[in-house]
Amino acid sequence: MIAFLIYLPFLLVFVIFAVYAERKVSAFMQDRLGPMVVGKYGILQSFADVLKMMQKEDIIALAADRKLFVIAPLVIFVSVFTGFAVLPLTVNIQGSAAETGIYFLLAVISLDVIGILMAGWGSNSKFSLFGAMRSVAQIVSYEIPLGLSILCVIMLTQTLSLQEISFQQVGTLGFINWNIIQYPFLFIPFVIYFIASLAESNRTPFDLPEAESELIGGFHTEYSGFRWAVIMLSEYGMMLLVSLIAVILFFGSWNTPLPNVGPVLLGDWTSGTAGELSSDLWGTFWLLSKAMLMIFLQMWVRWTYPRIRVDQMMSLSWKYLTPIGLFMVFVSGFWKIWM
- How far is residue 59's CA from residue 336's CA, in Å, rounded to a whole number? 56
- Determine the pLDDT at residue 215: 66
Mean pLDDT of the chain: 87
Residue 148 has pLDDT above 70, yes or no: yes
- Determine the pLDDT at residue 189: 96
Lowest mean pLDDT among 2-6, 130-134, 148-152: 2-6
Residue 273 has pLDDT above 70, yes or no: no
- Determine the pLDDT at residue 275: 62
| pTM to 2 decimal places | 0.91
pLDDT, tens only, 239-261: 999 999 999 999 989 888 988 88
* Residue from 44, 77, 95, 113 nearest 236 by CA: 77
- Determine the pLDDT at residue 149: 96
pLDDT, tens only, 127-144: 888 888 888 889 999 999
Burial 14-39 (b: 16+ CB within 10 A, else e): bbbebbbbbbbbebeeeeeebbeeee
Q: Classify residue 78 by burial, with Cβ atoms within 10 Å: 0-12, 13-18, 19+.
A: middle
Rg, Å, the chain Cα set:
21
Residue 214 has pLDDT above 80, yes or no: no
As a whole-number percent, the residues of the chain with pLDDT over 70 amount to 97
pLDDT, tens only, 70-82: 899 999 999 988 8
